[in-house]
C-alpha cells in the first residue's frame, strides 16, 4: 500500500482519485473552503472504503454518509491506526 496525499482541496482530491489507484481513504469533512462530500461520493461509487476524521458528529453528515465510520476530534494516533486497520480488514473498530 502506498500513501498519497494529503490533499486539501476537493478538485485536487477528485483528480487524484482519477489518476491513482486508491485502496482506502481518510477524509476530513470540512476542508476549509468546501465540504468533502464530492470526494466521498466518488469513493463510494468506486467501492473504496473510507472513514471520516472530523470535528462533526455523525448526525451532521448527510444521511447517505451516516454508515461511514468516523473518528471525532480530538482523537489519538492509536485510534486512527485501529480505524485504518479496520478499513483494511485487519481488525474491527470498537
pLDDT tens digits, 29-83: 999 899 999 999 999 999 999 999 999 887 889 999 999 999 999 999 999 999 9
Q: Specify the pTM.
A: 0.87
Quote the CA–CA distance of 57 and 47 in Å, as a whole number: 23
| Residue 92 belongs to a domain | yes
78 located within any domain: yes
Whether residue 8 is contained in a domain is answered as no
Question: Do 26 and 80 contact (CB within 8 A), yes or no?
Answer: yes
Can you give the pLDDT at residue 4?
A: 83
| Number of domains composing the chain | 1
Task: Evaluate whether residue 7 is within a structural domain.
Answer: no
Q: What span, in angstroms and rounded, lies between the C-alpha atoms of 52 and 71?
A: 6
- Provide the pairing of β-strand 70-72 with 50-54: parallel
Q: List phi, psi (to 5°) of 69.
A: -60, 150
By residue range, what is the domain housing residue 79?
52-66+73-94
Domain assignment of residue 45, yes or no: no
* CA-closest candidate to residue 87, choices 38, 28, 47: 47
Amino acid at each position: 500500500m502506498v500513501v498519497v496525499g494529503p490533499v486539501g482541496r476537493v478538485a485536487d482530491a477528485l483528480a487524484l482519485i482519477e489518476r491513482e489507484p486508491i485502496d482506502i481513504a481518510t477524509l476530513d469533512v470540512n476542508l476549509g473552503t468546501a465540504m468533502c462530500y464530492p470526494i466521498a461520493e466518488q469513493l463510494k461509487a468506486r467501492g473504496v472504503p473510507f472513514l471520516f476524521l472530523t470535528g462533526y458528529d455523525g448526525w451532521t453528515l448527510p444521511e447517505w454518509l451516516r454508515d461511514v465510520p468516523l473518528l471525532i476530534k480530538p482523537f489519538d494516533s492509536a485510534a486512527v491506526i485501529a480505524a485504518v486497520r479496520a478499513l483494511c480488514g485487519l481488525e474491527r473498530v470498537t
